[in-house]
Structures are given as structure tokens and as C-alpha cells.
Amino acid sequence: MSLPPSSTASQVPEEIWAQTFLYLPRAALLQVNLAQRMFHRIAHPLVFHDFDFHPYLTIAGYLITQCPPSGLMIPYEEHIPSLLARLQFWSSPDIAPLVRTCRVSDWSNEGVGIMIPSNCGVHGWSFQRTEDPYILLTAFFDALPRFTSLRHLTLNKVHFTQSGFKQLALLCNLRILEVFLCSVVHGEVVDTGELASLHVTQFTFRHHAVPEPCVEHWIPLLNPQILTHLDVAYNTAVLSKIQASTSTFPCVKSLKIMMDLCLPTWTRMLSKFPAIEVLDISRLRLDSDDGVGEPHAPLRDLLLALREYTGPEELLQFLVPIPTLRRVSVPAWSARSFDDIIQFETVTSTANNVSSLHAEIGDLDTDELYFAAVCSMCSVFPRLTELHVKISENALFKPDEFLKELEQELPLPARLQKLALHWQYPDRELVADVDFGPPDLNSVKDALVAEYPDLKMIWVEGSGIMYLWRKERGVLQHTFEEEALEDVAQIRREEFSRLWDACVISPSNAKNQ
């Protein structure tokens, strides 16, 4: 790695060097750290910004969470001193204050849910059963309060003790906590009444849906007066703990949650978060074919500040009447579901203010239904300024016919400024069967621009092409051979995505945006 001399380097502001060093791989960063005094001053904190720690290995055949000590393994005894010495170094007075991000996980955490057989080495280590598989984890909890500047902590398959919870609460600067498949030490009794609240403002929880002792203990540790972001997967104990809480979470602005929507209690859950601005709901798979429970109260009276919604289309009848709602994203819609939504008086009689819609249309029975679905979208949301439609993998969809109808019928909202249309095929061989190119797309573009004078951007992707029209820049188009779809196309997709995000909706034409 070639570095400039000190005299040249000093001419560049240190803030610029610091931003540049953020993108260096660790090996290069270590070289920079040793190169010269000024670079050392800038790079040294970055070298110790992230700390990873692995306390044990879960033996294959044992549940990741409800795991007794006999289901855990640690490296052989001769390796333990070096691992403890590494922890001692990272938690030393000179290094620990530099750590901002920490990840603690099982040795097998190459991916969530992977467990390694007991006779297998990992990363060059050999593992064994022991009477005390928590020797490394205990040492980590003891050292945890020394990381005084830690802001982001990720815990994966960590078994907690009462003492571990106490140490976690001592991290006064911790703001982001992510808990994946964590539980308590087998046989441990945890008394949350003796524990102080955590200082986190963002909390993410992932666990199995089945009940398990003590997983609900995380909820009482959250401070409702400072928590702003909550991301909770479906777990009956945790959701029940939230719902049973006598207090609300008045500062939560962003809520991501998985719930059983067929029960009327889902609205009581949402009522615990009266200040939500961004709501992301997932349905429990078991209830995906059932209806939605009737709300115990109008959502426009419960969610007074809601701006963005991502989730099932079945909830739109209750959410669209909220006057502050601006952005909607639904992962799987159909023409039938849109027709059903139109029937709801609460939607059609409300001057809804939704101006941005991202919709993925699922499998439909005929090609004609895809265009009908888009027409229904525009009927439900007449004030759209931004529309992004994605057609999921379905060989029945015929893009040339769809675009022809779009050009002729022009069903889009009058105020539209940004339009994206993407589609995929289930088999790459089908890509070669679809043949349409620039003349068709330019013809559609010309018709749309003539009909919708506020239109600023059109982004079309599918069938081996990427087409981007911008009002001020004209057309960019790329055609890809089948074998290049996954690599070259991804680069262009990221480029177009950045341009899409950078295209700002004009306030004069979208007063409620």
C-alpha cells in the first residue's frame, strides 16, 4: 500500500483522512496505523472500533437456546489462556474506550441457526466438553463495564445470568442492542425487579415463536422514556409482556413487529406505541390465510403521527384514513385484494394523503390481472407522486402487453413524479423468450411524459434490460446477456437505485409529502 509523505498528507484535513480510512479493510488499516504519526492518530481508534467475541460452541443436536451446559463446548484447555489474554487486552484501559461496536456469538455463528458437530474443528480450533463451559462468557461479562464508549452491541445465542444482566445495565453509552436467540443459563433464576433499566434507544429481538422461560425478561429492562426504535419478532411470551405492561412506550417512533392479526388484540398492542411514525408489520405465517381481527378502536385515534407503513394489505382499510400517512409499502398484493380494499368505505370516502406506494404483486391467474392491479392501486391512492411496482416471479406476466396497455390507458395518478416498474422470471431461460427494446420503452415514456407533466423519472427493469429516464438528463439504458444478469446488472441496479433515491419530490406538487 503506497502512502503519501508526511508533508503532503498534512495538507489534507484530518476529517477527510478519517472518512477515507473508514472504507479500508482491516489489514490496510493496520498498515496505515503504523505508517506515520498523523495517520496513527487518525487510524488508531478505527483499528479498535469493532470487537468480536465467541464464548463457546453449541453441539449439533441441541436446541440453540434451551441448551444445558452439556450441550456446549469450549476450545481445549491450552487455548483458554490466550483467549482470556485477548479479552484482557481489548478490555484494557487504553483499548476498551475505543470500542464502539461489539458482537458476541457462538463459535458456529457463520449464519443464524447453524450448529457444528462436536467432532469438528472451527477456524482451526478444537473443542471439548467441560464442567464449566461459561468460563469465557463469565470473563466477558466481568469485563463488559470497561467498554465505556460502547454504542452498539449484538448478542447471538448468549446465555445470560442475573449478573450478566446487571453488567449490561452499566453501559451508559450503549444505544443499540440486538438480541438474537438469547436465553438464560440453564437453571438460572432472574429477578428483573433487582435490575436497572438499560440505556438503549434501539432494541431488536429475535427468537423462536415457541415459549421459553425468561425470554420475556428483556421487556422490563427497556426504558420507555428513551426507547425510540423497537424491532420484535413473534414470541408469545414477549408480546404478552408488552401487552400486559401498565405503561406505554411514548417515545417509540419506529416499530417493526410480527403479530397474529386474526386476533383483535393486535390493535391493543399498537396502542402501547402512540407516537409511532414508521410501522412495519409482518403476519405470523400460521394466520396468513385467516382474516384480520376487528380493531377495538379506530387506528386514526391510536396512531396520530403515523407517516410510513410496511405490511399486509388487509390493514390498509384501517390505516389509510390516518391523515398523516404518506408512504405505503406492501410486499404481496393482488388484483383481488385491491378490489376488496376499494369496497371499504373508510378508504374510498377518505381524502387519503398517501403519496408514495411500493407494491410487489404476487402470482396472478392471467396476464391481464397485472394491469388491473396497477389500475386498482391508482384508484385507491389518487394522490400518488411516487409509484414503485414489482412483479414477482411469474411466467404469465407479459411485459410487452403490460406496457402497451399502460401507454394506451394511462391510468396513473395525475400528480405522479416518479415511476418504477420491475419484474422477474422464475427461470432465466424465459428471459430469452421476451423480446422488446428501446423503441417500445421510449414510446411508453413519450406517452407518459405527455400525459403527466410533473413526471421526473421512469425506471424500468426486467427481461435483461435496465432503462432509466430522467427529465433533466434523458435516457440511460443497459442491455445484459443472460449470463451477466447477476454481476454486471447488480452494479447498474445500485447505480439506478441511488439516482432514484436522489430524485426529490417537488413540494409544490406534493404539499402533503
What CATH number is given to the structural domain containing 11? 1.20.1280
pLDDT of residue 340: 62
- Tally Cβ neighbours within 10 Å of residue 30: 13
Say how far apart CA 244 and CA 358 lie, in whole Å: 34
In-domain check, residue 246: no
Say if residues 216 and 245 touch (Cβ distance below 8 Å).
Answer: no
Question: How far apart, in whole angstroms, are the C-alpha atoms of residue 351 and residue 321?
Answer: 8
Instruction: pLDDT band for 121, please (50, 70, 90 cuts).
Output: very low
In a domain, 112, yes or no: no
- How many domains does one find in the chain? 2
Amino acid present at 165:
F
Per-residue pLDDT of 167-208, as tens digits, reads 999 999 999 999 998 988 888 888 888 889 999 999 999 988
Residue 357 belongs to domain spanning: 326-513
Indicate whether 134 belongs to any domain. no
More confident site: 342 or 102: 102
Q: Is the dihedral of CA 29, 30, 36, 40 positive or negative?
A: positive
Q: What is the residue type of 105?
A: S
As a whole number, mean pLDDT of residues 325-329 equals 95
The answer to whether residue 43 scores a pLDDT higher than 80 is no
Last residue of a domain, one of 47, 63, 81: 47
How many C-beta atoms surround the C-beta of residue 138 within 10 A?
15
Would you say residue 212 has pLDDT above 80? no
Q: How many residues does the chain have?
A: 513
Top-ranked range on mean pLDDT: pick from 247-251, 310-314, 344-348, 478-482 = 247-251
- Rounded to a whole number of angstroms, the distance between the first and last alpha carbons of the chain is 48
- Confidence at 42, pLDDT banded by 50, 70, 90: low
Residue 113 has pLDDT above 80, yes or no: no
Res 14 pLDDT > 70 = no
How much is the pLDDT for 18? 62
More confident residue, 421 or 192: 421
Contact criterion met (CB below 8 Å) for 352 and 358: no
459, 468 in Cβ contact below 8 A? yes
- Cα torsion through 358, 309, 504, 468, rounded to 10: -10
pLDDT given for residue 512 in this prediction? 46
Position with higher pLDDT, 2 vs 204: 204
Tell me the β-bridge partners of 102. 51, 153
Alpha-carbon gap, residue 242 to 255, rounded angstroms: 13
Q: Has residue 102 been placed in a domain?
A: no
User: Would you state the pLDDT for residue 476?
Assistant: 82
The listed range with the strongest mean pLDDT (58-72, 347-361, 394-408) is 394-408
Q: Is residue 333 part of a domain?
A: yes
Q: Is residue 160 part of a domain?
A: no
| 316, 328 contact by CB (below 8 A) | yes
Across residues 340-349, what is the average pLDDT? 60
User: Angle, to 10 degrees, between the axis of helix 135-143 and the axis of helix 162-169?
Assistant: 30
Of 221, 79, 99, whose CA–CA distance to 152 is shortest?
A: 99
- Sequence-separated (6 or more) residues with CB below 8 Å from residue 401: 367
Please tell me the distance from the alpha carbon of residue 170 to that of residue 193, in angstroms, as a whole number. Answer: 16
Q: What was the pLDDT predicted at 131?
A: 85
Q: Is the dihedral of CA 63, 68, 72, 74 positive or negative?
A: positive
- pLDDT at residue 197 in the model: 94
Cell numbers of 43, please?
A: 487510524
More confident residue, 49 or 38: 49
Bigger pLDDT: 97 vs 436: 97
Residue 180 in domain = no
Whose cell is 488508531? That residue is 44
Query: Does 356 reside within a domain?
Result: yes
Chain segment 360-370, per-residue pLDDT in tens = 887 777 777 88
Q: What is the pTM of this model?
A: 0.84
- 179: Cβ contacts below 8 Å, ≥ 6 apart: 155, 203, 204, 205, 206, 207, 218
